[in-house]
């Protein structure tokens, strides 16, 4: 008699993403394609959890024996209160995007900044000696700025609408003892224009340009950027924002947020499975999921 393979997934085989809303997340397609490509008997779902239910949902990871989850907007900061431990980098960023369930102990990590650095590395971009400008000072900006600081950029300027939030981030960078001191500027100010005029890398970490508001941009005139500047938009809906379109037309190298999305997901595998996820498979699946929605 041939033995049938069980279709039930045992404990430690189920993962997912917790967010609100989360229906349009590309993460399930990305991770499930990677499991299939590697012949893994695992499943990744999307769990829509309103803020009022977050504590119960996190307790459910233990109760149901999930292997781990990703966490997205709006829970990345709030979730930290319900975990047993938070890794130092995630604590410095102030947000968790990956949780692993180690025998009932929930540990939080942040792979956004790590994924961001890997997405630069795969394009052959060296950070040492470059002047970097981060637009925004929210969750994504915190991960990006901290990792740029740790990676040894020559100069770092945070340009944000509310100066106090940028100053808060700059102070956290100083506390984290990153090798570079961050400057702070308000959009359109003399300091901001001076930093942009000598930038080797500009990273948009604001939602300006994101669907459905495609005509917004965090930088009205890209002609201020020097010739060798790399323009990075953390947005991946649409894949080419107005900022990237204008930078490309000016002949600058551009990178969209898909690369960061894919690499942060592949890095989460390091915690769940002890090895990096298959980046090419994940990129193809995430791209297909995003194109299906657009």
Please state the closest distance from residue 167 (CB atom) to ligand NAP, in A.
11
Please state the closest distance from residue 48 (CB atom) to ligand NAP, in A.
18
- In this complex, which beta carbon is closest to ligand NAP, that of residue 19 or of residue 257? 257
Please give the size of the binding site for ligand NAP, defined by CB under 6 A: 24
Distance CA 260, CA 255 (A): 9
Instruction: Enumerate residues 167-196 that contact ligand NAP by CB under 6 A.
Output: none
Please state the closest distance from residue 268 (CB atom) to ligand NAP, in A.
11
CA atoms within 13 A on the CB side of 83: 26
Please state the closest distance from residue 73 (CB atom) to ligand NAP, in A.
6
Instruction: Enumerate residues 4-33 that contact ligand NAP by CB under 6 A.
Output: none
Please give the DSSP secondary-structure letter assigned to residue 180: S
Please give the full DSSP string across 64-116, using - where no structure is assigned.
HT--EEEE-TT-TTGGGGG-SEE-HHHHHHT---EEEEETTEEEEE--HHHHH
- In this complex, which beta carbon is closest to ligand NAP, that of residue 16 or of residue 139? 139
Instruction: Enumerate residues 203-232 that contact ligand NAP by CB under 6 A.
Output: 205-208, 210
- In this complex, which beta carbon is closest to ligand NAP, that of residue 130 or of residue 142? 142
- In this complex, which beta carbon is closest to ligand NAP, that of residue 132 or of residue 137? 137
Phi, psi angle pair for 237, to nearest 5°: -125, 100
Contact with ligand NAP (CB under 6 A) among 18, 33, 222, 235: 235
Does residue 76 carry a catalytic annotation? yes
Sheet strands side by side (includes 85-86): 43-48, 14-19, 68-71, 98-102, 105-109, 85-86
* Set 20, 31, 75, 76: catalytic member: 76
| Residue 71, phi-psi category: left (phi > 0), alpha (psi -120 to 50), beta (remainder) | beta
62 makes contact with ligand NAP (CB under 6 A):
no
- In this complex, which beta carbon is closest to ligand NAP, that of residue 114 or of residue 236? 236
Are 269 and 139 in contact, with CB atoms under 8 Å apart?
no
Instruction: Enumerate residues 248-277 that contact ligand NAP by CB under 6 A.
Output: 257, 260-261, 264
| Residue in the shown chain whose Cβ atom is closest to ligand NAP | 138
The answer for residues whose C-beta is within 8 angstroms of residue 152's C-beta and 6 or more apart is 127, 128, 179, 180
For residue 267, give both structure tokens: 């890095």
User: Which of 68, 112, 103, 109 lies closest to 273 in space, CA to CA?
Assistant: 68
Please state the closest distance from residue 70 (CB atom) to ligand NAP, in A.
10
The answer for residues whose C-beta is within 8 angstroms of residue 138's C-beta and 6 or more apart is 165, 205, 206
Distance CA 214, CA 222 (A): 16
Instruction: Enumerate residues 104-163 that contact ligand NAP by CB under 6 A.
Output: 112, 136-141, 160-162
Please state the closest distance from residue 250 (CB atom) to ligand NAP, in A.
22
Instruction: Enumerate residues 85-104 that contact ligand NAP by CB under 6 A.
Output: none
> Which residues are marked as active site?
76
Which residues contact ligand NAP by CB under 6 A? 73, 112, 136-141, 160-162, 165, 205-208, 210, 234-236, 257, 260-261, 264
């Amino acid at each position: 008699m041939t033995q049938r393979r069980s279709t039930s997934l045992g404990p430690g085989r189920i993962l997912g993403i917790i967010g609100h809303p989360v229906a349009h997340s590309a993460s399930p397609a990305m991770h499930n394609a990677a499991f299939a490509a590697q012949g893994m008997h695992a499943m990744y779902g999307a769990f829509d959890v309103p803020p009022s239910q977050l504590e119960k949902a996190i307790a459910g990871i233990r109760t149901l024996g999930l292997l781990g989850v990703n966490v997205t907007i709006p829970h990345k900061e709030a979730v930290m209160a319900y975990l047993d431990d938070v890794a130092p980098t995630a604590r410095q960023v102030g947000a968790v995007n990956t949780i692993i369930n180690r025998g009932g102990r929930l540990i939080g990590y942040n792979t956004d900044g790590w994924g961001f650095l890997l997405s630069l590395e795969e394009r052959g971009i060296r950070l040492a000696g470059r002047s970097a400008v981060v637009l925004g000072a929210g969750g994504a900006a915190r991960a990006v700025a901290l990792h740029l600081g740790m990676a040894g950029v020559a100069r770092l300027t945070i340009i944000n609408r509310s100066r106090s939030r940028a100053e808060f981030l700059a102070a956290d960078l100083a506390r984290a003892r990153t090798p570079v001191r961050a400057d702070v500027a308000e959009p359109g100010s003399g300091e901001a224009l001076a930093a942009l005029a000598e930038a080797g890398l500009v990273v948009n970490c604001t939602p300006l340009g994101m669907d459905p508001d495609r005509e917004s941009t965090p930088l009205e005139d890209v002609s201020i950027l020097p010739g060798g500047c790399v323009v990075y938009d953390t947005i991946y809906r649409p894949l080419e924002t107005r900022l990237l379109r204008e930078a490309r037309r000016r002949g600058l190298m551009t990178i969209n947020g898909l690369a960061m999305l894919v690499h942060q997901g592949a890095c989460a595998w390091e915690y769940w499975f002890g090895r990096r996820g298959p980046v090419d498979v994940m990129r193809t699946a995430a791209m297909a999921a995003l194109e299906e929605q657009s």
